[in-house]
Structure 1
Amino acid sequence: MGTFETATARRSILKGLGALAVGASLPMPARAQQFLADPGVELHPQTHNPGKGAWADLARELKGNVVLPDDPFFGDYSRPNNLRYATRPAGIARCIRAEDVSACLKWAKKTNTPFAVRSGGHNYAGFSTTHGLLIDMSPMAGITKLDEQRVEIRGGTINSLVYKALERMGRTVTHGRCDGVGAAGFLLGGGIGFNMRLYGIGSDLMRGTELVLADGERVSASADSHKELLWACQGGGGGNFGINTSFTVETYPVSTVTVFEITWTRDLERVLHGLLHQLQTAPNGFGSKISVTVPSREDRRLGKGLSVSILGQAHAGTPPLADLFGPWLWEQAEKRSIHADMPYWQAQDILSEETFPYYYREQSTFLNTGDLTETVVANLIASGKAMPGTSMASAFKFFQVGGAVNKVGRKDTAFVHRGYDWLFSSEVNWWALKDSPTLVTENLAWQDKFYAGVRALTTGGGAYQNFPDASLKDWKAAYYAENYPDLQKVKEAVDPTSLFRFAQAITPR
């Protein structure tokens, strides 16, 4: 056994943003002034600050430390990835052990201070932000090898640390591409990645988890103990049942993979329809994301149009890419970047991406290939062309699911989204220093109409809980469907007073 600890949004969207780098040097108050929220949505209303004496009391209880607004690093510690929710907390507790987490919860209840929990800070809807106490799990980072198949991932670990440790072990899991995303949120909400068709989603690989509950008690959930709680953590979403301080995850040996990025700029309707239908029968070792990118307003003014691209990887033993795509799609591509038979983690260096904070909203649903007729696909492309646009590129995407994802039953874990071929998502991105509130409102209105059209024209369903959307009215059914009542039972058992609450939190029965 050994412990490994070490101290690249969207690739096409972030290219050419060097001119906007001035935003990176803005102090937190200036960024907070750019906050844009949905009308009528206030996730964290202003509350009292418990005072310096109370903060000093908390600091004495922690092995970690308390950071207050006068600290020069306060803005860095508190800033979320989505600047739309750049709420300034009253204080930050940087926890390094489970006892620190328990102390934070007891203190928050005693002082009647609202709180939120964060590891990577990438919650799309701002549910890891607060005006009160921000419980920062990021110091609780590291991975321990338990045996040849399993590892323990501490609750504050981010993806880049997972990659480094697994590379040393010669193992892999289902993982994402964004280096700074927290492993906890990734696993608790499902967790998608190019390996999911081969191994299942991230939460399918979760074999156990340790939590601090609302009463401060520490429990271990596994198939042998608190199994209903483990079930709820396998896709029930972060922040609902307690604070997860570690996860036991099954791993797999690495192999060589071929990574690819292919782009088309002509006949987009035929290309997109062809990709969606041609790749439906690809083997499970083939993982992909299809993107339709809408250029920025400036790029469109200069004559740049929409493009379709596919990014992904193929494990050893997958048929040649040219055979999978077929002759027409292969020959019509404007760009093909192929890196064949690479060592697994070397290939991930090509696929991974770093993100910096900016403004965005994402909306999602699950689809089957049969939904995506030529007419539907043509309507999607036409809608993309009609987007007003911002100073940043935006996109709508199709993440290929199926395979091992669909071998698990809808009620076998809390993650209910089984039986689909694609996870669809639409993202609108903007920069508040360049895009007026009126323009942002126009683009979000376009997105609402576009999203409603996709859901109306298809027989797919639901929404991905790891892409939370604060404007989603039917979120209980969309995220959890028939599993919601059972999740409420677990909530009732471990958090009957809803200490852990936010705008889309599961409630007790």
Structure 2
Amino acid sequence: MARELRSSRRNFLVGLGGFAAAAKLMPGSALAFEAGACPPPSAWSDLARAVKGGVLRPEDPFFADICRPNNLRYGATLPACIARCASARDVQACIAWVKRQNMPFAVRSGGHNYAGFSTTPGLLIDMSRMAGVTPVAGSDGLVTVQGGTLNLLAYKQMERMGRTITHGRCDTVGAAGFLLGGGIGFNMRKFGVGADLMRATELVTADGHLVRADAGTDASLYWACRGGGGGNFGINTAFTLETRPVDAVTVFNLTWTRDLPKVLKLLLTELASAPDDFGSKIAVTIPSRQEGCDRAPLTLSILGQLHGSDTSLKDIFKSTWELRDQDQSQIKADVPYWQGQDFLTETTFPYYYQEKSSYMRAASIDDEAIAAMFDWAGRMPATSMPVSFKFFQVGGAIDRVGRTETAYVHRGADWLFTVEANWWSPTDSTLQVTQALDWQQRFTDDVNRRTGAVGAFQNFSDPSLADWQGAYYGENLARLAEVKRAVDPGMLFTFAQAIRPAETPARRNPSSALPGGARREAEAVERLP
């Protein structure tokens, strides 16, 4: 492990990431926290003195606003205290405190963890004050992103620099959770996933040290942080990223209202050959329907961007171009890059949801698979919120990095397929929610079987995923377990889908040594056409 970084003004300015760490009650956890246990008042006073950013208890103003997660499924889990860290030293103080008090903890900036891993009944480490993006002096386009930075602030500060990275659309998502799980966005086919642009990271590890990991120092830890998922190896306090200069883009939101199965099949097959300058997300939206009422028709839309290219949108969309509903479609051609992102940006509100995902090849999507998708869409139970099944376009620069070169293993696919289940608890009954989740599972299983889709995206954490280890990490799981054993053998950083330490030294990456699910994903990807 690299030596502890010396205290400096810069170290006090680095930030901590969204759901970069989440620790919850688990059998075997290093923190054996008993239900109802509470530290003495002197312990809370000690924490308040140690955390210079301040702490909040349940009776304090704004406590409820700060602890509310984006996924309200987990909103009933309230922390005993919120530590508002303002520096890496504050993070170290929190780690020391939870170890002394045997207190579970979670770390959050945006609070968008799909499976609630940034909620806790113990100490919530709020990192939203540790935010900002600054150029690295003397470098050519490198920036330091503090770990608590939300997308919205990153957008503003990089716009001033005239630079960009692969970033998401939701402006309240934390940069750390985004990067640690890989990070997808409309630039990924041109630049790679967000983790591909990471050149270094700083993190507080289980022993309380602040370390820097890059290709030359703690290289295995650096490798693991590029796709190994938030919350597994420490609390990431800063990232060094390679940025790219911005250029003009054409942004679009196109809609089709007729012949949707035909259009979807054409889009999924024809867009797979689009240039790397093109990024898109296809959504088939199923309107909400109350019991006894007819549902409105489905719609198909595609949102995306095209960097400056010799190929036009008309050429890229080929046979679907003339089929679109021109009255409902929008195109903004050759606009400044960050103006284009204003068009694409999404702001989400808290609600109840679950998402399931897998990766598929365009060549595996036949007419029967498309028909099954629309058949399942027609069977969606009545709920108060619309849902979508979606296809995020991958490939391009993502596939120029090997599956084992970083911890992000999902290379070689054309589409990241997802199915939503959304509901609003005050109006949807327990039975309706159960039916919606069952429908989502059966929809996903059937489509995966028909298309040979494999894996799952670790940033779309799925609490119902049985073989999450193999689905998220594939053949990289064994090496990730080795890294976990090296930096956190006692499982201080633990949650329901945390990587566990390797019990014995394992050979790296042979598929025969993988758990069943990981081996199946590795073999399935090799078989994909």
Q: Report the CA distance between 1:349 and its aligned residue.
A: 0.5
Which of 62, 76, 82 is residue 71 of structure 2 equivalent to? Answer: 82
Whether the aligned pair in 1 keeps the contact of 2:254 and 2:324 (CA below 8 Å) is no
Counterpart amino acid of residue 129 in structure 2: P
Between the aligned partners of 2:292 and 2:168, the Cα distance in structure 1 is 30
Counterpart amino acid of residue 103 in structure 1: A
After superposition, what is the alpha-carbon deviation per residue over 1:156-214, rounded to whole angstroms, capped at 9, x for unaligned? 00000110011000000000000000000000000000000000000000000000000
Q: Report the CA distance between 1:455 and its aligned residue.
A: 1.9
Between the aligned partners of 1:89 and 1:481, the Cα distance in structure 2 is 34
Whether the aligned pair in 2 keeps the contact of 1:286 and 1:318 (CA below 8 Å) is no
Between the aligned partners of 1:356 and 1:333, the Cα distance in structure 2 is 29
Q: Report the CA distance between 1:317 and its aligned residue.
A: 1.2
- SS of the residue corresponding to residue 190 of structure 2 reads helix
* Residue 346, structure 1, aligned to residue 335, structure 2: no
What RMSD, in angstroms, separates the aligned Cα atoms of the two structures? 1.8
Tell me the residue number matched to 2:278.
286
- SS of the residue corresponding to residue 397 of structure 1 reads strand
Counterpart amino acid of residue 430 in structure 2: P
Report the CA distance shift for 1:47/1:483 in structure 2 as closer, same or farther (over 3 A). farther
Between the aligned partners of 1:332 and 1:83, the Cα distance in structure 2 is 36
Report the CA distance shift for 1:178/1:300 in structure 2 as closer, same or farther (over 3 A). farther
After superposition, what is the alpha-carbon deviation per residue over 1:405-445, rounded to whole angstroms, capped at 9, x for unaligned? 01100000000000000000111111111111111111111
Whether the aligned pair in 2 keeps the contact of 1:47 and 1:132 (CA below 8 Å) is no
Q: Report the CA distance between 1:304 and its aligned residue.
A: 1.3
Tell me the residue number matched to 1:66.
55
Q: Report the CA distance between 1:53 and its aligned residue.
A: 2.0
Whether the aligned pair in 2 keeps the contact of 1:401 and 1:422 (CA below 8 Å) is yes
The count of aligned residue pairs is: 470
* Residue 248, structure 1, aligned to residue 237, structure 2: no
Q: Report the CA distance between 1:275 and its aligned residue.
A: 0.5
Give the TM-score normalised by the residue count of structure 2: 0.87
Which of 426, 445, 456 is residue 438 of structure 2 equivalent to? Answer: 445
Unpaired stretches in structure 2, ≥5 consecutive residues: 1-9, 15-32, 503-529
Whether the aligned pair in 1 keeps the contact of 2:70 and 2:349 (CA below 8 Å) is yes
Identity %: 57
Tell me the residue number matched to 2:97.
107
Q: Report the CA distance between 1:500 and its aligned residue.
A: 0.1
* Residue 160, structure 1, aligned to residue 152, structure 2: yes
After superposition, what is the alpha-carbon deviation per residue over 1:117-148, rounded to whole angstroms, capped at 9, x for unaligned? 11110000000100000011111101111133
Tell me the residue number matched to 2:367.
374
* Residue 410, structure 1, aligned to residue 413, structure 2: no
Which of 39, 42, 47 is residue 53 of structure 1 equivalent to? Answer: 42
Between the aligned partners of 1:293 and 1:179, the Cα distance in structure 2 is 22
Which of 381, 393, 396 is residue 388 of structure 1 equivalent to? Answer: 381
Q: Report the CA distance between 1:318 and its aligned residue.
A: 4.7
Whether the aligned pair in 2 keeps the contact of 1:81 and 1:122 (CA below 8 Å) is yes
Counterpart amino acid of residue 66 in structure 1: V
Unpaired stretches in structure 1, ≥5 consecutive residues: 6-43
Tell me the residue number matched to 2:123.
133
Tell me the residue number matched to 2:487.
494
Between the aligned partners of 1:300 and 1:362, the Cα distance in structure 2 is 26
Between the aligned partners of 1:201 and 1:503, the Cα distance in structure 2 is 25
Between the aligned partners of 2:265 and 2:53, the Cα distance in structure 1 is 53
Tell me the residue number matched to 1:463.
456
- SS of the residue corresponding to residue 254 of structure 2 reads strand
Q: Report the CA distance between 1:328 and its aligned residue.
A: 4.3
Tell me the residue number matched to 1:275.
267
Between the aligned partners of 2:74 and 2:339, the Cα distance in structure 1 is 35
- SS of the residue corresponding to residue 329 of structure 2 reads strand
Q: Report the CA distance between 1:333 and its aligned residue.
A: 3.0
Between the aligned partners of 2:283 and 2:35, the Cα distance in structure 1 is 39
Whether the aligned pair in 1 keeps the contact of 2:255 and 2:325 (CA below 8 Å) is yes
Runs of 4+, deviation exceeding 2 Å: 44-47, 298-303, 327-335
Report the CA distance shift for 1:390/1:45 in structure 2 as closer, same or farther (over 3 A). farther
Q: Map residues 325-336 of structure 1 onto 2, 5 A cutoff.
A: 325-333=317-325, 335-336=328-329
Between the aligned partners of 1:228 and 1:442, the Cα distance in structure 2 is 43
Which of 188, 191, 200 is residue 208 of structure 1 equivalent to? Answer: 200
Q: Report the CA distance between 1:313 and its aligned residue.
A: 0.3
Report the CA distance shift for 1:117/1:300 in structure 2 as closer, same or farther (over 3 A). farther
Counterpart amino acid of residue 373 in structure 1: D
Whether the aligned pair in 2 keeps the contact of 1:155 and 1:247 (CA below 8 Å) is yes
Q: Report the CA distance between 1:389 and its aligned residue.
A: 3.2
Which of 333, 337, 342 is residue 330 of structure 2 equivalent to? Answer: 337
* Residue 357, structure 1, aligned to residue 357, structure 2: no
Between the aligned partners of 1:401 and 1:45, the Cα distance in structure 2 is 44
Most deviating of 450-459 and 44-53: 44-53
Counterpart amino acid of residue 94 in structure 2: C
- SS of the residue corresponding to residue 398 of structure 1 reads strand
Report the CA distance shift for 1:103/1:431 in structure 2 as closer, same or farther (over 3 A). same
